[in-house]
């Protein structure tokens, strides 16, 4: 190859042809999803074994690379967008989301300061405020977009820590003679609480797990007792995490009661609404937002329930300046780029370089409108309840928790009761290995249960009926 061909970018006309080919590829892929296996049946390492270990010396054509995507990557992928993917929260992407991702790539923005990214900064502020309005948070809540809720809770707790033990930012926990700080969350809350405690040097053991009631909601009186005991034992209560839509059952903690306890013990109240908060967009779910205005912070993951492709998570803090105070730090080389700005999002977290995530959210929210989003969410609620009705009509199955949002936990009970944990797990394993559907298993009160999450705009009642047939067939196979 001539040296001149090794310089610069792909020639414009060739790039245009590649883009047309890619547009067809994406449209074909979306249309053919239904006919693909949901998950591969490869063993770990199988994909790597098919790929050359040495990096390429010479460039290869896009057609050849795209051919390998078809040959190796697509069959090696768990298709989270597949209509029969019912794992986790069943969340997915949507066509406007894909368009948003595509537009974001050539803009190639680094949304660190206003000056390096005026449109990205202002659109982020706008989209954050749209979501705030949709989920009925008061105006005093400002937000920042991170990749995930795990990162959001870590930042929230960092602010809580600084307020509880001022100067930790400057002198560290030991230098600031910080007391042993404790965080409280239900035994159903997400493990990101412990991850945050690890990252912040608070210690994972200082996340105290609180029992839940029969509906898997935090037992508020137990929370109060544990906090009071900790105070008596010399610990310093730092924060309580109330979850709106827990990972296993989508249960909703009693936020107003937790807020009262937080006030009593001067604790930070963080609401983990990673999955559930998005449902507040539905007028019939608005009662769920009781107590949210008392929170210090709340995480909402539009990539879980508001149709935005991974990743997109918003941390709201009551008075966002509290977050900025803990994380602002302007090195000399960035000073020039920060002078005239009202808002530089690099000040609101540990990341400097930041993706232009707001664009895809803006495109989806405009494409669907609140009404379109609400109608789709409502359909997911209808499907979850319909599935629960099917379970109720077959005495070999039972619901393992009340249906909440798009989540249904259920259990096969049509065999020897000593074998049920193993059989429920085996049903999920077999179905996932078959490539016909994808479910999750979890443990509730030490019993293994099956779980589906409905969140995919492509999943119809017909798909769900098919999944139910597959579950029953597989139960017949393992149970006999
Ligand atoms: C309730 C809840 N909170 C937090 C998380 C963590 O989310 P992320 O993957 O955005 O960090 C999850 C993940 O499923 C979750 O279910």
Mean pLDDT by 10 residues, the chain (480 residues): 79 96 97 96 91 94 96 95 92 90 96 92 97 97 97 98 92 86 97 97 97 97 98 97 97 98 98 97 94 97 93 96 92 73 89 95 97 96 98 96 97 94 97 97 97 96 98 91
Please tell me the distance between residue 239's alpha carbon and the centre of ligand 1 in angstroms.
18
pLDDT of residue 174: 84
148 lines ligand 1 (CB under 6 A): yes
In sequence order, which residues have a C-beta less than 8 Å from that of residue 451 and are 6 or more positions away?
248, 407, 408, 409, 410, 439, 440, 441, 442
pLDDT of residue 340: 65
Q: Are the C-beta atoms of 308 and 97 separated by less than 8 Å? A: yes
Kindly report the protein residue whose alpha carbon is nearest to atom 16 of ligand 1. Answer: 247
305 lines ligand 1 (CB under 6 A): no
Please tell me the distance between residue 312's alpha carbon and the centre of ligand 1 in angstroms.
12
Distance spanning both ends of the chain, measured CA to CA:
65
What is the CA angle 74-42-192, rounded to 5?
Answer: 80
Q: Give the length of the chain.
A: 480
Give the pair of three-digit tokens for residue 376: 């789709």
Q: Are the C-beta atoms of 410 and 384 separated by less than 8 Å? A: no
Ligand 1 atom having least distance to the Cα of 147: 10
Best residue among 217, 247, 297, 313 to mutate for probing ligand 1, ranked by most atoms within 8 Å of CB: 247
- Widest CA span in the chain: 77
| Backbone angles phi and psi of 412, in degrees to 5 | -80, 125
Give the pair of three-digit tokens for residue 145: 């977009």
Give the pair of three-digit tokens for residue 335: 């000073």
Kindly report the protein residue whose alpha carbon is nearest to atom 15 of ligand 1. Answer: 247
247 lines ligand 1 (CB under 6 A): yes
Instruction: Enter the pTM of the model.
Output: 0.95
Q: How far is residue 309 CA from its own chain's centroid?
A: 10
Ligand 1 atom having least distance to the Cα of 150: 11
Please tell me the distance between residue 304's alpha carbon and the centre of ligand 1 in angstroms.
9
150 lines ligand 1 (CB under 6 A): yes
Tell me the angle at which helices 95-107 and 12-32 cross, rounded to the nearest 10 degrees.
160
Kindly report the protein residue whose alpha carbon is nearest to atom 7 of ligand 1. Answer: 149
Please tell me the distance between residue 187's alpha carbon and the centre of ligand 1 in angstroms.
15
Residue recorded with tokens 């993917």: 85
pLDDT of residue 408: 98
Best residue among 91, 148, 149, 218 to mutate for probing ligand 1, ranked by most atoms within 8 Å of CB: 149
Please tell me the distance between residue 190's alpha carbon and the centre of ligand 1 in angstroms.
6
104 lines ligand 1 (CB under 6 A): no
pLDDT of residue 232: 97
Please tell me the distance between residue 60's alpha carbon and the centre of ligand 1 in angstroms.
39
In sequence order, which residues have a C-beta less than 8 Å from that of residue 390 and are 6 or more positions away?
468
Q: How far is residue 296 CA from its own chain's centroid?
A: 20
Please tell me the distance between residue 472's alpha carbon and the centre of ligand 1 in angstroms.
30
Q: Are the C-beta atoms of 246 and 304 separated by less than 8 Å? A: no
pLDDT of residue 4: 67
Please tell me the distance between residue 149's alpha carbon and the centre of ligand 1 in angstroms.
6
How far apart are alpha carbons 159 and 144 in whole angstroms? 14
Ligand 1 atom having least distance to the Cα of 247: 16
Q: Are the C-beta atoms of 391 and 410 separated by less than 8 Å? A: yes
pLDDT of residue 138: 97
pLDDT of residue 6: 81
pLDDT of residue 221: 97
Give the pair of three-digit tokens for residue 336: 């020039």
In sequence order, which residues have a C-beta less than 8 Å from that of residue 109 and are 6 or more positions away?
116, 117, 119, 120, 355, 356
For the chain, the C-alpha Rg in angstroms (whole number) is 24
């Amino acid at each position: 190859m001539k040296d001149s061909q090794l310089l610069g970018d792909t020639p414009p006309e060739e790039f245009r042809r590649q883009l047309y080919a890619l547009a067809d590829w994406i449209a074909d892929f979306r249309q053919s999803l239904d006919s693909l296996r949901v998950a591969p049946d490869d063993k770990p390492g199988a994909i790597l074994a098919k790929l050359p270990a040495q990096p390429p010396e010479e460039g290869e054509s896009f057609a050849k690379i795209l051919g390998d995507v078809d040959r190796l990557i697509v069959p090696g992928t768990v298709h989270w967008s597949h209509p029969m993917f019912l794992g986790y929260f069943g969340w997915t992407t949507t066509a406007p989301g894909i368009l948003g991702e595509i537009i974001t790539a050539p803009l190639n923005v680094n949304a660190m300061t206003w000056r390096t990214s005026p449109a990205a900064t202002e659109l982020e502020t706008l989209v954050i405020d749209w979501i705030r309005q949709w989920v009925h948070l008061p105006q005093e809540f400002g937000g920042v977009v991170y990749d995930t809720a795990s990162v959001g809770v870590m930042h929230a707790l960092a602010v809580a820590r600084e307020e509880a033990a001022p100067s930790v930012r400057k002198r560290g926990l030991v230098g600031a003679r910080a007391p042993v700080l404790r965080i409280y969350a239900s035994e159903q809350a997400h493990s990101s609480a412990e991850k945050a405690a690890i990252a912040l040097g608070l210690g994972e053991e200082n996340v105290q797990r609180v029992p839940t009631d029969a509906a898997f909601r935090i037992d508020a009186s137990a929370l109060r007792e544990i906090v009071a005991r900790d105070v008596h034992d010399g610990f310093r209560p730092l924060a309580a995490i109330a979850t709106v839509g827990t990972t296993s059952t989508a249960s909703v903690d009693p936020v107003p009661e937790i807020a009262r306890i937080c006030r009593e013990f001067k604790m930070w109240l963080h609401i983990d609404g990673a999955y559930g908060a998005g449902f507040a967009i539905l007028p019939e779910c608005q009662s769920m937002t009781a107590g949210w205005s008392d929170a210090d912070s709340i995480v909402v993951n539009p990539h879980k329930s508001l149709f935005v492709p991974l990743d997109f998570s918003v941390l709201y803090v009551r008075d966002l300046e509290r977050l900025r105070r803990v994380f602002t730090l302007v090195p000399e080389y960035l000073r020039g780029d920060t002078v005239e700005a009202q808002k530089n999002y690099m000040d609101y977290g540990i990341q400097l370089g930041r993706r232009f995530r707001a664009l895809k959210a803006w495109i989806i929210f405009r494409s669907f409108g609140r009404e379109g989003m609400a109608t789709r969410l409502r359909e997911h609620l209808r499907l979850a309840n319909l599935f629960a009705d099917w379970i109720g009509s077959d005495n070999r199955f039972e619901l393992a928790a009340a249906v909440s949002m798009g989540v249904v936990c259920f259990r096969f009970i049509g065999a020897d009761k000593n074998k049920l944990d193993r059989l429920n797990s085996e049903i999920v394993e077999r179905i996932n290995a078959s490539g016909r559907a994808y479910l999750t298993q979890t443990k509730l009160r030490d019993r293994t249960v099956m779980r589906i999450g409905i969140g995919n705009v492509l999943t119809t009642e017909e798909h769900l009926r098919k999944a139910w047939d597959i579950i029953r067939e597989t139960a017949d196979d393992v149970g006999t």
